[in-house]
Amino acid sequence: MIDFITFCDYAGTFAFAISGIRLASAKKFDWFGAYVVGAVTAVGGGTIRDVLLDATPFWMTQASYLIVTGLALVFVAIFRKYVIRLNNTIFIFDAIGLGLFTVVGIAKSLEYGFPIWVAIIMGTITGAFGGMLRDTLINEVPLIFRKDIYASACVMGGLIYYACQQLGLTPAMTQFIAAASVFITRAVAVRYHISLPVLKGEE
């Protein structure tokens, strides 16, 4: 079980890092810049969460996240001609990461004594704000606020987490169902091109 969670954690980190590295590469960043954008994408959401919770940022106590980001850099550099063919696999890893990161963010916030509504926000920040920082760094309007169901899948997973808790499910069960619901919401939204409506402004 722990092995499975660790696998999801690394797969998600890898996919998040790759999304940052590819966009940085498209903007002609050098290797180091691409690594930084990859790392910010992979660990940025969890870092904001930990700063808000007043916890030591998770990647400062365990080197594996930055090592996985380095592997993602090497992967993109070596297999750059083939990466595009792996888009589906990368998407699945990314969605797995989104689900896991959301649940990890919620569980950690509850551990720190915050109420469920704060925890759901922290889960969403963990899952979605790395991508927001990535887009800010490469000087684009954050994609996650304009296309597909992304951050809102995290909120949905958070509400399901809460529902499972109220139904008295075990923590492991609750976390699995919540993570799976984020994954499914995201996958269904992308498959069927479901987006949230644009907010119509005054013009």
Is 70 one of the binding residues for a copy of itself (CB under 8 A)? no
**Which conformational region is residue 148 in: left (phi greater than 0), alpha (psi within -120 to 50 degrees), or beta?**
left
Distance CA 152, CA 197 (A): 12
Residue 186 in the binding site for a copy of itself (CB under 8 A): no
Contacts of 45 (CB under 8 A, 6+ apart): 101, 105, 125, 126, 127, 128, 129, 130, 131, 133
Compute the least distance from the CB of residue 53 to a copy of itself, in Å.
9
Residues ≥6 apart with Cβ < 8 Å to 167: none
Only one of the segments 33-41, 158-166, 171-179, 185-193 lies at the binding site for a copy of itself (rule: CB under 8 A); that segment is: 33-41
Question: Does residue 193 belong to the site contacting a copy of itself (CB under 8 A)?
Answer: no
CA neighbor of 14 nearest in space, from 52, 77, 67: 67
CA 160 vs CA 56, 154, 164, 195, 202: distances in Å: 28, 10, 6, 20, 34
What's at 104, amino acid-wise?
V
160 binds a copy of itself (CB under 8 A): no
**Which range of residues in 6-14, 130-138, 160-168, 174-182 is near a copy of itself by CB under 8 A?**
130-138
169 lies in the binding site for a copy of itself (CB under 8 A): no
Applying CB under 8 A, which of residues 60, 172, 188, 194 lies at the interface with a copy of itself? 60
- Taking CB under 8 A as the criterion, the residue among 6, 7, 32, 111 binding a copy of itself is 32
In the complex, the residues that contact a copy of itself under the rule CB under 8 A are 21-22, 24-34, 36-37, 47, 51-52, 54, 56-57, 60, 63, 66, 73, 76-77, 80-81, 83-84, 114, 117-118, 121, 132, 136-142, 144-147, 151-152, 155, 195-203
